[in-house]
Every structure is written in structure tokens, then in C-alpha cells.
């Protein structure tokens, strides 16, 4: 009986014996109660001197954790069945506490301390030295960096250590772990990231970069022949061609009495047999397609004959002609007849859908809309469905039409109800009618359009044709490709996402933003910098969650358009800030020019890595175009 009483008074967590704790055997922790315990923990944390703004990061992560637990019935459940601590096996009995209430509080304190220790782990490593900073590098820093010295090329790693001494007469930047170089005899070879020769001199007679692939030639039983290597140096197209040329994403070849096209998968998809009188020449001019999910077509010219061909499967979409065919955008072409007349052509699914001499121009700004825009010879507009080949609506004026990314819109006015009727079209069909008290102000971009109310304020319309919120903004900017936009209310400028959630409160005089492309690069780094917010004459930097990343006030801030860098100016210094890890590269002036690449930054002739370290100073001349 006495032993049973003791077991009731002293509860233990036995981590050594792998016993699963059931729900009714363990106390759940309610983070909304016991405010006294929470306050005591906060006081404990005040004794920890945290610099470099790690306090904000830890608090932010702890807030997120507690919020998640709150959403899950305010409980944390512990399952110790698969855990074993070899060096230390903690137990409440170590404290010799007999009060059940006190034991409960101590358990909570222990759990809070464990959470704080885990969230602060990165901070403590940083405080212990530079080890972590040297390990945390920008995503592409594993690619060697090309350098030039005395007009010879070599490579260094991101710390500045030489991988290959400058000895090559030519060297390219690394692509997918490999680089083409030329030795002192001007013979080509391929090296890997360690500088090891993966294709020594003599393996190939010539090597040419074609995007991620390599066009190579070598001596075979049939003589000098060309083939294609993929990014891993495996043979993509066998060595059987007399020549291969790469242009704008298209391979063309000559083989015996044939010319043809090799698609990006390395497959021979189109061939044309030449006569003895024909020159062995083939030229392909592809259309630019704004949406990569749609198939590209191109004009194939062989001697004097031209035709339109699918560049993926090689299917011919038009008859051969001696007339010149000119590609425009999104698979629109025009053929120039002998008398100078233009015949406009639109191709889709290997068929010519529209072919007409009655147009001064024909275009389709977004293939996904399924709406062609034509200007007739008498200068009238026609908007034609690619599905029905009929006009979407007759007598539409250009002022009532908005072409956007994937969605075509036109306005109609309902005079009886004195309201606007907004019609949304996709794939050549109307998918929504909106009767509203607003009109379209800007077409869809990145899935959101801007509308204007009768009182002169603005709102946002999503791709379903719904307002993202009911707020009337004084000023609106388009959404970026990351899905966020800067806008202004009576309170000032702020930032919202596509759900209408506020990222940065509307209380600022100005906001600058990193590009959507840079945001995507930095999205997984919680230390990223997305915005510069100005109040008064100073800026502060904010991360993706709308929280300040430090307490520094800047005189000016300029974001790089392509890489996670921002040029900053304070009263004391000008610098480039690597926004993922907050490293700085000093500048003599805010107006200093720099060049940014995936794995290094150049200021004049100095190379810096994304840790902000000077890794190399060039004393050689580099010919234009080598990059």
C-alpha cells in the first residue's frame, strides 16, 4: 500500500524502457493557460544576450509553433516509444518533487526550454564561431568559379581556393557540373568540378555548348561525325551526322543527302532528301511562345522552299512554298506573296486554323485565352475564338478589351441597370459573366486583374472572376510571379497576397520589392529579404512574413532583379547585402557597378562569394562573350 501511494505521488517518464505513453497516461499542455509559467520563461529568456536579430527569428518560429498547437486543440502529445537517450535519461523524480501541481509546472518549463533550445540551435552555433557561416553558402556555390590571370583561365571554389590553376586558353562557366575548356594547344576537353578531365584531349575533335547539352564531333569509321551529349556527358544523339547546328532551342543537321531537325529530346523528327543540285543547307527560325506549355512551330527553309513545322514532333503544318514566311509570336506567321500581299496564318495542333489576306495584322498575346486579335484591311477589330473560328462578339472596340495572362476580358454596359457586364473568356469560350459596379482597369497578370470602382478606388479580381477582398485601395500595383502585390490605402502602403491576406500593414510611405524571380529563389530561406519599407527618409528591410530582418535604417535600397542581393546605403557605409545570409560586400560608393552571377559577385576586378568574402582579384583580360 505504501509503495502504491509513492507511485501515485511521484510520476516518472522512463525513456529507457520503450513504453508507449497512452493519451490517458500523460498530461496535455494548454499553452493558453498558466500565464505565470509563460511569464517566468520569458524572464528567463531575457537573460540570454541574442544579437544579429536572432531574437526575432526565434520568437517568430516559437509563435508559429504555438499557433499550430493552438489550432490542434491546444495540446502537445508526446510519444516516447521510439526514443532513447543514451547519455542522459531525464526524469521528474530527479527533482524529488512530491507536489503533483509543482510537477506539472516543471514539466511545462522543461518542454518550453527544449523548444527554445531547438529553435535557438543555429544561433548558438553562430555564436561559437564562423563555422556555420562558412558552411552555409548560396545554392549554386558548389559550381567552380571561372577566373582569368594573364589571359589564361582557371577555376576556384567559393572560398577562393584554386581548383585549377589558370592554364587554359578558353574556359566556359560550369554547366550542370561540367565545363568545356581548351589547353595550350587549343584542343578541347571537358573537366568536372574537381578539375578532373572527364573527356581528355583527343576524345573529341570539337565541343560546342548548346544550352545544357554539348555538340561534339569525333573520328569514327565513317570519318568525322557529329553527335550530341546530354548534361551528364551521356550520348544523347549518336555520332552519325556530317554537321549539327543549334539555334534558339532547335538542332538542325546534315547527313549524307538529307537535312533535318533534331528535337530537344535528341530525336530525329524531320528530314528532307536533297537532290544533287540542292545545297546542303537548312535553316529554322522558330516562333517565340510566351507560355512554354504550348508547342512551338517554326519556319523551315531548305534552299528556296519554306514550310511551317512542329519543332517537337516534326509534323508539317503547311505546304511548301517559294514565298517567304515570317514567324511572329505565339505561332502566328505571315507569308509574303509575289505582289507583296501578306497572308496571315495561325497554327495550332499541327493545323492551320486561320489563313487570310484580309488582315493588316493578326496576333494572339496569350494562346491560353483562345482569342485571336485581328485588324482588318479597313482597320476594324475582330476578336476570333480559336475554338469556333467565329468572332467572340462583333463590334468590340479596343478600349473595351483586355488581354491578360490566360484570360481575355471585354466590358459591356447594361444601360437598363446602369451596371457594367464584364465577360471573361478562356480557351475561346466565355466562362464567367460579372454584373458589377466596377470596370476592368488592368488585364490579368500572374493570375490577378485590377478593377476600378466608380469612386476612383481600386480592387483585385482573381482568375475565378472573384474579388480577393472588399477593400477599396487608393493605389494598386500588379501582382508579381511570387503572388504578392504592393497597394495603398488611406493608412499608407502595404503588401497583400492573392488570398487578400496582409503581409505588411498599410502604414508606410513607400515600399520597394524584390522581383518575383528573386523571391522564388529565396523563398525557402527564413532569413530572406523581400521588401524595403520607408517611413520618413529611411528604409527598413522586411522578410517574406512581413517582419523586419534587422533594426538598421537605410538611406537607400536597390534590389537586384535576378539574384538575392540588395544594394544598401547608410550614413556610415555603402554595400551589397546578400539577402539570404545578411553578408556584406563593401562599396566605395553607392553608385559602384557590380556584376552578379549564380555563385559569385564581381565588383570591378574583385570576386566575392555569397558569404561576402573576397575570394579572388583578377589581373587578366577577359574577351567579351566568354561568359
**pLDDT tens-digit profile of 263-302?**
999 999 999 999 988 999 999 999 999 998 999 999 999 9
More confident residue, 407 or 413: 407
pLDDT exceeds 80 at position 210: yes
User: How open is the CA angle 150-151-157, to the nearest 5 degrees?
Assistant: 85
Choose the weakest-confidence range: 46-50, 220-224, 530-534. Answer: 46-50
| Local confidence band at 524 (pLDDT 50, 70, 90 cut-offs) | confident
| Local confidence band at 2 (pLDDT 50, 70, 90 cut-offs) | very low
Q: Are residues 190 and 296 in the same domain?
A: yes
Tell whether 340 is covered by a domain.
Answer: no
User: Which of 129, 159, 193 is the endpoint of a domain?
Assistant: 129
| HSE value, Cβ hemisphere, 13 Å, CA-based, for 114 | 7
User: Which of 289, 323, 357 is the endpoint of a domain?
Assistant: 323
pLDDT exceeds 50 at position 48: no
pLDDT exceeds 50 at position 239: yes
Residue 62: per-residue pLDDT: 54
Tell whether 338 is covered by a domain.
Answer: no
Residue 28: per-residue pLDDT: 40
Tell whether 393 is covered by a domain.
Answer: no
More confident residue, 347 or 22: 347
pLDDT exceeds 80 at position 49: no
Q: Are residues 18 and 70 in the same domain?
A: yes
Q: Are residues 124 and 151 in the same domain?
A: no
| Local confidence band at 66 (pLDDT 50, 70, 90 cut-offs) | low
**Tell me: the pLDDT tens digits for 337-392?**
999 999 999 999 999 999 999 999 999 999 999 999 999 999 999 999 999 999 99
Tell whether 28 is covered by a domain.
Answer: yes
Written in H, E and C, the secondary structure of 59-93 is HHHHHHHHHHHHHCCCCCCCCCCCCCCCCCCCCHH
User: How open is the CA angle 575-579-582, to the nearest 5 degrees?
Assistant: 70
pLDDT exceeds 80 at position 15: no
Distances (CA, A) of 367 to 100, 341, 358, 361, 382: 70, 26, 21, 16, 16
pLDDT exceeds 90 at position 53: no
The x, y and z cell numbers of residue 213, run together, are 547539352
Domain span at residue 199 reads 145-323
Residue 14: per-residue pLDDT: 42
CB 563 within 8 Å of CB 554: no
Place of cell 538575392: 564
First CA to last CA distance, the chain? 84
Q: Are residues 91 and 198 in the same domain?
A: no
Q: Are residues 488 and 579 in the same domain?
A: yes
Residue 5: per-residue pLDDT: 45
Q: Are residues 157 and 29 in the same domain?
A: no
Q: Are residues 609 and 513 in the same domain?
A: yes
More confident residue, 141 or 510: 510
pLDDT exceeds 70 at position 67: no
**Tell me: the pLDDT tens digits for 416-474?**
777 779 999 999 999 999 988 899 999 999 999 999 999 999 999 999 999 999 999 99
Q: Are residues 85 and 159 in the same domain?
A: no
pLDDT exceeds 80 at position 242: yes
Q: Are residues 121 and 213 in the same domain?
A: no
pLDDT exceeds 80 at position 70: no
pLDDT exceeds 50 at position 175: yes
Residue 29: per-residue pLDDT: 42
The x, y and z cell numbers of residue 507, run together, are 502604414
Distances (CA, A) of 18 to 21, 79, 81, 107, 395: 9, 10, 5, 20, 78
The x, y and z cell numbers of residue 66, run together, are 504555438
Instruction: Report residue 75: phi and psi, to 5°.
Output: -130, 145
With left for phi above 0 and alpha for psi between -120 and 50, is residue 549 left, alpha or beta? alpha
User: Which of 271, 297, 323 is the endpoint of a domain?
Assistant: 323
User: Which among 445, 476, 448, 451 has a CA at the least distance from the CA of 365?
Assistant: 445
Residue 153: per-residue pLDDT: 96
Q: Are residues 93 and 154 in the same domain?
A: no
How many other CB atoms sit within 10 Å of the CB of residue 616? 21
Tell whether 341 is covered by a domain.
Answer: no
Q: Are residues 161 and 85 in the same domain?
A: no
**Number of folded domains in the chain?**
3
Q: Are residues 113 and 189 in the same domain?
A: no
**Tell me: the pLDDT tens digits for 122-162?**
454 444 444 433 333 333 447 999 999 999 999 999 999 99
Place of cell 546542303: 280
| Local confidence band at 409 (pLDDT 50, 70, 90 cut-offs) | very high
Amino acid at each position: 500500500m505504501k509503495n502504491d501511494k509513492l507511485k501515485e505521488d511521484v510520476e516518472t517518464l522512463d525513456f529507457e524502457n520503450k513504453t508507449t505513453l497512452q493519451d490517458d497516461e500523460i498530461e496535455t499542455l494548454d499553452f493558453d493557460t498558466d500565464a505565470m509559467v509563460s511569464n517566468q520563461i520569458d524572464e528567463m529568456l531575457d537573460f540570454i544576450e541574442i544579437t544579429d536579430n536572432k531574437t526575432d527569428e526565434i520568437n517568430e518560429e516559437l509563435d508559429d509553433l504555438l499557433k499550430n498547437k493552438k489550432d490542434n486543440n491546444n495540446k502537445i502529445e508526446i510519444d516516447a516509444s521510439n526514443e532513447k537517450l543514451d547519455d542522459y535519461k531525464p526524469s521528474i523524480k530527479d527533482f524529488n518533487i512530491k507536489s503533483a501541481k509543482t510537477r506539472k509546472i516543471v514539466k511545462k518549463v522543461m518542454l518550453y526550454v527544449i523548444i527554445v533550445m531547438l529553435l535557438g540551435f543555429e544561433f548558438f552555433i553562430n555564436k561559437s564561431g564562423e563555422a556555420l557561416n562558412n558552411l552555409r553558402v548560396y545554392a549554386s556555390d558548389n559550381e567552380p568559379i571561372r577566373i582569368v590571370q594573364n589571359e589564361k583561365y582557371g577555376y576556384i571554389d567559393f572560398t577562393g581556393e584554386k581548383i585549377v590553376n589558370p592554364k587554359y586558353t578558353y574556359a566556359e562557366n560550369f554547366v550542370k557540373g561540367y565545363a568545356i575548356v581548351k589547353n595550350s594547344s587549343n584542343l578541347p576537353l571537358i573537366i568536372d568540378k574537381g578539375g578532373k578531365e572527364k573527356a581528355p584531349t583527343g576524345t573529341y575533335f570539337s565541343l560546342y555548348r548548346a544550352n545544357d547539352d554539348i555538340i561534339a564531333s569525333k573520328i569514327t569509321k565513317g570519318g568525322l561525325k557529329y553527335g550530341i551529349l546530354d548534361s551528364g556527358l551521356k550520348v544523347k544523339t549518336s555520332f552519325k551526322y556530317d554537321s549539327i547546328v543549334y539555334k534558339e532551342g532547335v538542332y538542325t543537321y546534315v547527313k549524307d543527302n538529307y537535312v533535318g531537325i533534331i528535337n530537344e529530346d535528341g530525336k530525329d523528327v524531320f528530314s528532307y532528301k536533297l537532290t544533287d543540285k540542292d545545297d546542303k543547307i537548312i535553316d529554322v527560325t522558330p516562333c517565340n511562345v510566351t507560355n512554354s506549355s504550348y508547342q512551338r512551330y517554326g519556319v523551315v527553309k531548305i534552299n528556296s522552299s519554306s514550310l511551317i513545322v512542329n519543332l517537337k514532333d516534326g509534323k508539317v503544318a503547311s505546304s511548301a512554298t517559294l514565298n517567304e514566311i515570317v514567324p511572329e509570336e505565339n505561332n502566328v506567321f505571315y507569308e509574303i506573296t509575289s505582289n507583296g500581299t501578306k497572308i496571315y496564318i495561325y497554327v495550332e495542333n499541327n493545323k492551320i486554323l486561320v489563313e487570310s489576306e484580309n488582315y493588316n495584322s493578326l496576333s494572339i498575346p496569350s494562346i491560353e485565352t483562345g482569342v485571336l486579335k485581328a485588324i482588318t484591311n479597313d482597320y476594324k477589330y475582330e476578336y476570333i475564338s480559336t475554338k469556333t473560328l467565329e468572332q467572340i462578339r462583333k463590334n468590340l472596340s479596343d478600349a473595351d478589351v483586355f488581354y491578360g495572362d490566360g484570360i481575355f476580358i471585354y466590358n459591356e454596359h447594361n444601360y437598363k441597370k446602369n451596371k457594367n457586364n464584364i465577360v471573361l473568356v478562356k480557351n475561346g469560350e466565355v466562362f464567367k459573366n460579372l454584373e458589377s459596379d466596377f470596370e476592368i482597369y488592368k488585364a490579368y497578370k500572374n493570375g490577378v486583374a485590377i478593377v476600378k470602382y466608380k469612386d476612383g478606388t481600386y480592387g483585385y479580381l482573381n482568375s475565378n472572376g472573384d474579388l480577393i477582398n472588399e477593400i477599396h485601395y487608393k493605389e494598386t500595383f500588379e501582382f508579381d510571379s511570387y503572388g504578392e502585390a504592393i497597394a495603398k490605402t488611406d493608412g499608407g502602403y502595404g503588401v497583400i497576397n492573392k488570398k487578400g491576406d496582409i503581409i505588411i500593414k498599410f502604414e508606410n510611405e513607400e515600399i520597394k520589392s524584390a522581383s518575383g524571380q528573386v523571391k522564388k529563389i529565396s523563398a525557402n530561406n527564413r532569413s530572406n529579404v523581400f521588401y524595403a519599407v520607408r517611413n520618413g527618409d529611411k528604409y527598413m528591410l522586411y522578410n517574406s512574413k512581413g517582419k523586419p530582418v534587422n533594426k538598421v535604417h537605410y538611406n537607400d535600397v536597390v534590389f537586384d532583379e535576378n539574384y538575392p542581393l540588395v544594394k544598401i546605403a547608410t550614413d556610415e557605409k555603402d554595400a551589397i547585402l546578400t539577402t539570404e545570409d545578411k553578408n556584406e560586400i563593401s562599396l566605395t560608393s553607392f553608385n559602384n557597378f557590380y556584376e552578379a552571377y549564380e555563385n559569385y559577385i564581381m565588383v570591378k576586378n574583385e570576386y566575392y562569394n555569397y558569404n561576402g568574402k573576397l575570394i579572388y582579384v583578377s589581373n587578366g583580360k577577359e574577351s567579351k562573350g566568354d561568359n
